[in-house]
C-alpha cells in the first residue's frame, strides 16, 4: 500500500447491513485505526464467524476468513500461531461468540494469544431475524421468546476477565463514542496478548429494547482513577448493575502463547530435522 487514509481500507464489497446498523461504527473505527497506524493491509487477517457482524471482513481491505458459525477463535489461533507476524482480528456477534462459540472463548483467552477479539453485541441474533441471544436482557421478547426470555444475560466483560484475557475493554459504536472506540481498538492492537473489546453495537431493525437511544442514556465512561491492573476491581466494575461502563477495564502484561512456544522450541535445543535421531525411537 502507498496511501493510508481510512478510505484506502474500503473493501471490495459494499456493506449489506441495514442503514443505521451499529456495526458501521466498528467498521469505521477499524478503517481509522488502520489509517492511524499506517497498517499494510497485507499483514492483517480478520477472522469472523457467521452473523450480520460476521460479514465485516467482506467490507474491509485485508485478508479475511468468513468461516463457520462460532468458530472464528480457533481459526484465528491457527492463523496467528502459523504466522506470528500477522495482525489478527476476530470479529463476530454475541450469538457467535457467547452462544454456539461459548466453548472457545475461555480457551483462546487463557492462552493469551496475541490478537484482538471484537465482540459486536446487539443483544440478539440479527442475521436470523431477531431471536434472543445470551446478552439479551431479562424477559426479552423475541421471535423465539414470545413470552420473554427465562435466563439471565451473560456479561462478556466479566467472562473475559475470568477467562484470563490480558486486555479487556468495552466500546460503544454510537457516534458519541466513536473516537473512544477507535482509541480502544488501537490500544488493543498495540497490546501484546489477548485483547478483548465488547462493543455495544445495536441492531436497529430487530432490537426495540437495546437501542442507540437506550444505550446513550446508559453508557458511562470508566473513571480515570480506575486501576486497570487490578482484576478484582475490574470485575466489580463489570458486575455493578446500575451502570454500563465503557472504556478500558483491565490490562496487564503476561507472556503470550507465541512467546511461550518459543521457550519450548528452545528447550528442545532447536535440533533441526535430524532423521537419524528420530529413527532411534524405532530401532
Ligand X SMILES: Cc1ncc(C[n+]2csc(CCOP(=O)(O)OP(=O)(O)O)c2C)c(N)n1
What residues make contact with a copy of itself under the rule CB under 8 A?
98-104, 106-107, 110-112, 134, 147-148, 150-155, 158-159, 162-164, 231-232, 235-236, 239, 257, 260-261, 264, 267-268
**Residue 234 in contact with ligand SF4, rule: CB under 6 A:** no
Write the binding mask 129 to 148 for other proteins: x where contact by CB under 8 A, - elsewhere. Answer: x-xx-x--------xxxxx-
Question: Among Mg ion, a copy of itself, ligand SF4, none, what binds residue 136 when CB lies within 5 to 8 Å by partner kind?
Answer: none
**Residue 3 in contact with other proteins, rule: CB under 8 A:** no
Q: How far is the CB of 222 from other proteins (least distance, A)?
A: 30
Euclidean distance between CA atoms 11 and 265, whole angstroms: 38
**Residue 18 in contact with ligand SF4, rule: CB under 6 A:** yes
| DSSP code of residue 50 | S
Going through the chain in order, the beta strands assigned E by DSSP cover 44-48, 63-66, 87-93, 116-121, 124-125, 131-132, 167-172, 195-200, 219-221, 244-251
**Residue 54 in contact with Mg ion, rule: CB under 5 A:** no
**Residue 43 in contact with other proteins, rule: CB under 8 A:** yes
Binding test (CB under 6 A) with ligand SF4, winner from 29, 30, 52, 237: 52
Q: Which among 13-21, 97-105, 139-147, 154-162 is the span making contact with ligand SF4, rule CB under 6 A?
A: 13-21
Euclidean distance between CA atoms 64 and 61, whole angstroms: 9
Question: Among ligand SF4, a copy of itself, other proteins, none, what binds residue 239 when CB lies within 5 to 8 Å by partner kind?
Answer: a copy of itself
In the numeric block, the cell 535440533 is attached to 271
Binding test (CB under 5 A) with Mg ion, winner from 15, 64, 70, 93: 93
In the complex with Mg ion, the residue whose CB is nearer, 86 or 159, is 159
Measured between alpha carbons, how far is residue 65 from residues 60, 70, 151, 263, 268 in Å? 12, 13, 32, 30, 33
Question: Among ligand X, other proteins, Mg ion, none, what binds residue 96 when CB lies within 5 to 8 Å by partner kind?
Answer: ligand X
Euclidean distance between CA atoms 219 and 22, whole angstroms: 15
Quote the Cα angle for 266-272-278, to 5°.
Answer: 110
Q: Which of 194, 186, 172, 171 is nearest to 249 (CA)?
A: 171
In the complex with a copy of itself, the residue whose CB is nearer, 46 or 98, is 98
Euclidean distance between CA atoms 216 and 231, whole angstroms: 27
Which parts of this chain interact with Mg ion (CB under 5 A)? 93-94, 122
Amino acid at each position: 500500500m502507498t496511501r493510508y487514509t481510512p478510505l484506502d481500507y474500503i473493501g471490495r464489497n459494499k456493506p449489506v447491513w441495514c442503514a443505521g446498523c451499529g456495526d458501521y461504527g466498528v467498521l469505521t473505527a477499524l478503517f481509522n485505526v488502520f489509517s492511524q497506524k499506517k497498517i499494510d493491509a497485507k499483514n492483517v487477517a480478520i477472522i469472523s464467524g457467521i452473523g450480520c457482524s460476521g460479514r465485516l471482513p467482506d467490507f474491509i481491505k485485508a485478508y479475511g476468513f468468513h468461516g463457520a458459525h462460532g468458530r472464528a477463535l480457533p481459526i484465528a489461533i491457527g492463523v496467528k500461531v502459523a504466522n506470528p507476524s500477522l495482525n489478527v482480528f476476530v470479529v463476530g456477534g454475541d450469538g457467535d461468540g457467547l452462544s454456539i462459540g461459548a466453548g472457545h472463548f475461555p480457551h483462546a483467552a487463557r492462552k493469551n494469544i496475541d490478537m484482538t477479539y471484537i465482540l459486536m453485541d446487539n443483544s440478539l441474533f440479527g442475521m436470523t431475524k431477531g431471536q434472543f441471544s445470551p446478552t439479551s436482557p431479562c424477559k426479552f421478547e423475541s421471535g423465539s421468546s414470545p413470552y420473554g426470555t427465562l435466563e439471565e444475560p451473560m456479561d462478556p466483560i466479566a467472562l473475559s476477565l475470568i477467562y484470563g484475557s490480558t486486555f479487556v475493554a468495552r466500546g460503544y459504536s454510537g457516534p458519541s463514542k466513536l473516537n473512544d472506540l477507535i482509541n480502544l481498538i488501537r490500544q488493543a492492537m498495540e497490546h501484546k496478548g489477548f485483547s478483548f473489546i465488547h462493543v455495544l453495537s445495536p441492531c436497529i431493525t430487530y432490537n426495540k429494547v437495546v437501542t442507540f437511544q437506550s444505550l446513550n442514556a446508559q453508557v458511562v465512561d470508566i473513571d480515570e482513577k480506575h486501576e486497570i491492573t487490578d482484576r478484582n476491581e475490574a470485575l466489580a466494575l463489570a458486575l455493578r448493575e446500575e451502570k454500563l461502563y465503557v472504556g478500558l477495564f483491565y490490562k496487564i502484561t503476561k507472556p503470550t502463547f507465541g512467546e511461550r512456544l518459543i521457550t519450548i522450541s528452545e528447550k528442545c535445543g532447536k535440533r533441526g530435522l535430524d532423521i537419524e535421531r528420530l529413527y532411534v525411537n524405532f530401532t
